[in-house]
Amino acid sequence: MAQPTDRTQTMVPACQTSPTLQRPECIALEDAAARADRQTFALLVRALDWSALCPADLTRASDLALSLDLVPLARELVQQGIRVFPDDIRLQQATAVLAPPVAIETRPAQGLSLDASQTWLKEHAAQYKGQWIAVQEGTLLGAAPTLHTSFLTT
C-alpha cells in the first residue's frame, strides 16, 4: 500500500492533536501572564496565527488578557476569534460581554416644571395656612387639616 504524500494528507486542527494550553505558544502566553509581563504577552498574542489554534485557546488568551487589565487586547482576541470560529458559543458570549459600552441618551421627564405650582403657592398659601395641600402644574388638587384626613389617603 502506498504511503500518503504531503499532498494527500489531511490537515488535522491543532486542537485535535494537542490539548489546549499544552502547545508551546500557549504555554508562553501562560508564562507571560503569570509574570504579569503585559508587553511580552501582547507581543506573543499578536504574533500567533490564531486560525491554526482552537477556540478554547482564544478564549483562554482573552481571559489572560483580562487578568492583566488588557481589555482592548481581550476585545481584539474575541473579535478575531469570532471571525475564525463564528459558531463557537463561548466566543460569541465573550464578544457580547466585551463589546464596548453603549451610552443611551435619555431625556428628562417632560412636564415636571414646578414654576406654575410655586407661583400658585406664593399667591394662595396664606388661604391654606396650617393645612396639607397638593398642587400640580399650578392647580390646587386638594387641601385638608391633616395628612390622614386629606384627599391623599382616599
pLDDT in tens, 17-76: 444 556 788 899 999 999 999 999 999 999 998 888 889 999 999 999 999 999 999 999
Please say if the pLDDT value at position 123 is more than 80: yes
Residue 109's pLDDT is 65
Residues in the chain: 154
**Residue 85: pLDDT above 50?**
yes
Does this model's pTM top 0.75?
no
Average predicted confidence (pLDDT) for the chain: 82
* More confident site: 141 or 5: 141
Please give the full DSSP string across 61-74, using - where no structure is assigned: HHHHHHHTT-HHHH
For residues 85 and 91, the answer to whether their CB atoms sit within 8 Å is yes
CA–CA separation, 117 and 50 (whole Å)? 66
Residue 112: the pLDDT is: 64
Amino acid at 108: P
CB count, 10 Å around CB of 73? 19
The domain ranges of the chain are: 14-98, 115-153
Looking at residue 147, its pLDDT comes to: 78
DSSP summary character for residue 128: G
Please tell me the distance from the alpha carbon of residue 77 to that of residue 41, in angstroms, as a whole number.
Answer: 12
Residue 113's SS3 state is coil
Is 140 a residue whose pLDDT tops 80?
yes
pLDDT over 70 (residue 118): yes
